[in-house]
Amino acid sequence: MKKLFYFLGSLLATAAFAFFVSNLLKGFDNPGYVLMGIGHWSLETSLVVFAVSLIFGFFIFYFFFRLMGWLIRLPGKIKSRGKNIKFNRSQEALIAGLVDSAEGNWEKAENILIKHASQSGVPLIHYLTAARAAQSRGAFDKRDEYLKKAADQSPDSSVMIGLTQAELSLSGNQFEQALETLTRLHSIDPAHASVLKLLHQTYQHLGDWQGIRKLIPSLHNHKILMEAEVKLLETEAFSQLLKQSAKKGNTDEIKSLWSEIPDYIKTVAGIAAIYFAAMIDAGAGVEIEQELANAISVNWAETLVVLFGSIQSRDVSKQLETAEKWSYVHQENAVLLAVMGKLAVKCGETLKAESYLAKSIAAEPTVQAYQLLGDLLFAQGDKDTAIKCYKNGLELASSEIVSRIDTISE
């Protein structure tokens, strides 16, 4: 509208100027004329008429060419306007799809997002949101289809698409598929925080502790987990790996793994107990007897003491002497006294064994101590006292079972 006013204003101003010049020229005896010739034709007119015609001709031609230019650009404008309308609709559809998805209307969200994805300025968001909606309603085939379309539409966003695919696979308990995707992403960007987090979660779901062990340095170096969390995870990883090796019963594998464990983890009583128990179960108790004794001397743990007593030593007397040395520091320890009694029985020192086992029961009654003392008394012919020991052991065992049942029921 402004352009029209400018045009009409310019036209009126020019007309006024031409009228003023015409009146001015009329004051002269000869106001001037213009003669034009083309071939045998000639045209003569006054200067005023020529000037006015020239001015009006300029405006006519200007308006004509402007009109032609507008007509030429008209199809493009119509097309652009159509695109803008479709774009606006796609944006509205994206908002509506996100709202429906948040409200749990997954199928509705999926349909509206896919319908307008091709006209959107951000088709990737449409496809990824639709994939999440399809996942939520259990349509895994549709989910994978939308993810493929997203990859075809935005090949430069492979990491983002892959992360979405891995997240959806994890939430759908498709751990092998998630691991395959994350392994590919990790090769593309080894330091990507989200990739490392999801890899950690996937390995835990799969029970792949070897994979977690290899991932721990990256989790630490890239500050994915706090230092305390890294140490806790590392301890758990080596614990699980030791248990897996123990099931195989391969002493070389167990010793090799133990040599790779950092010293600050080896001092954890639970980890050491798993290692020593695995070696004893594999028939290599003699190999680790001295190592176990040293570990007990440095970091006292009753579990390790029990394991020490279960070793089939080549020199039981020396084994008993080692245990008796610990009793100077850990006097009246029921577990140590029971182990000493067990070793004394093996050495044939019945009086010492009876004394240790009686002291162990006095300090803290245990089923094992009652059984060992009962066996010893029965072998000596004291059947009545042996039966009392067995009875007390059974009563203690039954009470422990009842207490466990009560704990579970609570």
The confidence score (pLDDT) of residue 124 equals 75
- What are the two backbone dihedrals, phi and then psi, of residue 44, each rounded to the nearest 5 degrees? -125, 135
Q: How far apart are CA 65 and CA 171, in angstroms?
A: 64
Q: How far apart are CA 223 and CA 193, in angstroms?
A: 9
The token pair at 313 is 């030593």
| Other Cβ atoms within 10 Å of 406 Cβ, number | 9
Run of H or E residues at 276 = helix 269-281
Q: How far apart are CA 199 and CA 189, in angstroms?
A: 13
The confidence score (pLDDT) of residue 258 equals 92
Helices (H) and strands (E) in the chain, counts: 20, 2
Tokens 């200007």 label which residue?
62
Chain-centre distance for alpha carbon 62? 66
- What are the two backbone dihedrals, phi and then psi, of residue 249, each rounded to the nearest 5 degrees? 75, 20
**Helix, strand, coil tally for the chain in percent (to 5):** 80, 5, 15
Scanning 137-157, the segments in alpha helix (DSSP H) are 140-153
The token pair at 388 is 């009392």
Residues 269/305, Cβ–Cβ less than 8 Å: no
What number does CATH give the domain 316-401? 1.25.40.10
Go through the chain and tell me how many residues it has: 410
Scanning 31-122, the segments in alpha helix (DSSP H) are 47-103, 106-115
Residues 48/21, Cβ–Cβ less than 8 Å: yes
The confidence score (pLDDT) of residue 47 equals 64
Tokens 């020490």 label which residue?
308
The confidence score (pLDDT) of residue 400 equals 65
The confidence score (pLDDT) of residue 197 equals 92
pLDDT tens across the length of the chain (410 residues): 566 566 566 667 666 666 666 666 555 556 666 677 777 787 777 666 667 677 777 777 777 777 777 677 767 666 666 555 555 566 666 666 666 666 667 677 667 767 666 666 667 777 777 788 888 787 788 888 888 888 887 777 888 888 888 888 888 888 999 999 999 999 888 889 899 999 999 999 999 999 999 999 898 888 888 888 888 999 999 999 999 898 888 899 999 999 998 888 888 878 999 999 999 998 899 999 999 999 999 889 999 999 999 999 899 999 999 999 999 888 889 999 999 999 999 998 989 989 989 999 999 888 888 898 888 888 888 888 989 988 988 988 887 676 655 455 44
The token pair at 355 is 């004394």
The confidence score (pLDDT) of residue 339 equals 92
